[in-house]
Structure 1
Amino acid sequence: MNLYTERHGLRKPIARKSKISKEVYTLLLNICQIYYKNLTHIFKLQQHCSFVGQDYIEFNRSQFENRMAIKIPNILRDEYGHIAAPQDNDDYDQYSLIDLIEYVAENIKDISEGWNNDRYKNYWYIHCLDTTNVFNDYRNEINELFQESGLLFTLTSEKIIERLVEDTPLSPAIERQVQQIAEYGTRELMKDAIALYKTPNPAARQDSVEKIWDALERLKTNYTIVDKKTSVTKVVNDMSNGQIDFITMYNAEFEALTKIGNSFRIRHHETNKVDITDNRHYDYFFNRCLSLIALAIQYLK
């Protein structure tokens, strides 16, 4: 629901960011904790009510915490060893919280729960079901908070968190085109490059650019019955429909991207290469290379 100031344009635009603040960390963790009980099928605590002589199960919080200590060792914990929200000046690893969000998403299942007896309420039971309809509720809550806080992340239907990139040519249509690339090596390099590009951790930017440049170099050799130079010429001719002005333009773009790949620290890491220290530059390089490849693969034979 949009509030009054949102509906009437009286609110300043939300600043878009990739840093999870302490306050938003706390809210995201609260959502995860609400859905911990939907992991009971993995973390079962067997209980017995002697008053009515019945067995039942609860969510085993201790077993869950012990498993997370192995699965997500860097997530913030309190003095008692429990997963906790940051307090005061606590340092926290936001990507470990993303791990937790994904873990819950991957393993969440529907449950049926309630008092064994509405009048006497001897114990609260949980019945584990083999369906995952609850994932949609969980995903919506996580994504709503991402959106409201301006975080450039989204929890996908594939149960992974991806970053949202503004002003990029990457689209579902291009991703579908990549899936249809006939040459296996180019297709796999492009899939890896896109996956790394969408990863929230900025440390993956360099790897995404390196992968897409490797894909560009492999694409140049698409026509394997001729040498690389002749293959590039054929790729450009196909893209240009034989029009000289477009041939000139695409030749210049292939040459420019080759020069960038050789001059900057993308595919080569010698000390004389230009370091890339601003992640926005990685985004620019990725998107420029993607634009050429996305067009070229439409013409490959």
Structure 2
Amino acid sequence: MLCVVIEVPYLVALIFRTKGLCTSRHGIRAPLEKTYSINRDMYSLLLDCCKRYQKNLTHIFTLNCHHDFTDSDYVAFDEKGFVTRIKIRIPSLFRDEYDRICAPAYDDENDQYALLDLIEFFAQNIKDISERWNNERYRNYQTIDCHNSSDVFENFQETINEIFTESGLLYELTDEKIIERIVENSPLTTEIENNFAAVHEVGTRELLKDAVALYKTPNPTARQDSVEKIWDALERLKTYYTTLDKKHSSEKIVNDMANGNDDFADLFNNEFKVLTDIGNKYRIRHHETDRIDITDVRYYDYFFNRCLSLIALAIQYLM
């Protein structure tokens, strides 16, 4: 009888590269649940992916070794140094009772965003390597040669994003080597982001850039900051025309948006006023005790996108 043994990492990669499975093709499989929550199985797959690329961090964690029998020096990956550095850099990353980085058990509490931080650390630091035996006949030891190139990032990015997709996780490792959350049916488009980047007034442009970055940040604690930033951008936008005072600058923006139509001028004036009132009444730009707390994190996306819609329209009429 022929027995075939497949290594686990290869099997995992094979599973995630298999397209068009039978149940998917014939509509038998239940729709994949989309989520921001990383369960234990997802965590394990993502962590295993990082571990497979550990040696690509050797340029940072270099262990200089000596082989006594051949009296030769060689380079290996310093795993102890890596674990110590990560413990300082990402202190909330889950560890077992022996202080080893590992996947949590099903009942273990863990900080899933610390795992995303680890993935970003790998993405931003991995470099190409080559490994070679000192002697092809005797193979006493392997040494690692580190290169300045980072072509390996594309492979790492593809594998991480395949796990995200296949698991239904609404995250993406971007070409900028950061993880962003995916907001389905979001009004924030690439075109809007490009328009924001083209805003001439530096302060408004930077506030919009920061607001969008915080909006995409996976950790929900960034939601409040994203809303605060975009409201700050709205208020600064009102003073866009620096040769005019705030009142007349706002009037010019609204009139340009309305194209001389009084009905739309009233509509946009009212929307600016309503958003200003929301920013003052709720705990968005001000944090006094008499402000209304936003008690559900999901409300932040509503507030952000409502303010975004008005700004995205307004900047199309800026001169």
TM range (shorter): over 0.9
Shift of 1:88: 4.2
Aligned to 2:205: 187
Aligned to 1:256: 274
1:1-301 correspondence runs (5 A): 1-301=19-319
Shift of 1:37: 0.4
Distance across 2 between alignment mates of 1:267 and 1:206: 10
Distance across 2 between alignment mates of 1:2 and 1:39: 35
- Greater displacement, 284-293 / 46-55: 46-55
| TM-score of the two chains, using structure 2 as the length reference | 0.91
- Greater displacement, 87-96 / 228-237: 87-96
| TM-score of the two chains, using structure 1 as the length reference | 0.96
Q: How many residues align?
A: 301
Distance across 1 between alignment mates of 2:244 and 2:144: 66
Distance across 2 between alignment mates of 1:89 and 1:203: 24
Q: What stretches of structure 1 of length at least 5 have no aligned partner?
A: none
Distance across 2 between alignment mates of 1:16 and 1:274: 31
Query: In structure 1, the residue corresponding to 2:242 is in which secondary structure?
Result: coil
How large is the Cα RMSD of the aligned pairs? Answer: 1.3
Distance across 2 between alignment mates of 1:66 and 1:27: 22
Distance across 1 between alignment mates of 2:288 and 2:83: 45
Structure 2: which amino acid aligns with 1:260? I
Shift of 1:276: 1.0
Q: What stretches of structure 2 of length at least 5 have no aligned partner?
A: 1-18
Query: In structure 2, the residue corresponding to 1:56 is in which secondary structure?
Result: strand
Shift of 1:33: 0.5
- Greater displacement, 97-106 / 249-258: 249-258
Shift of 1:288: 0.9
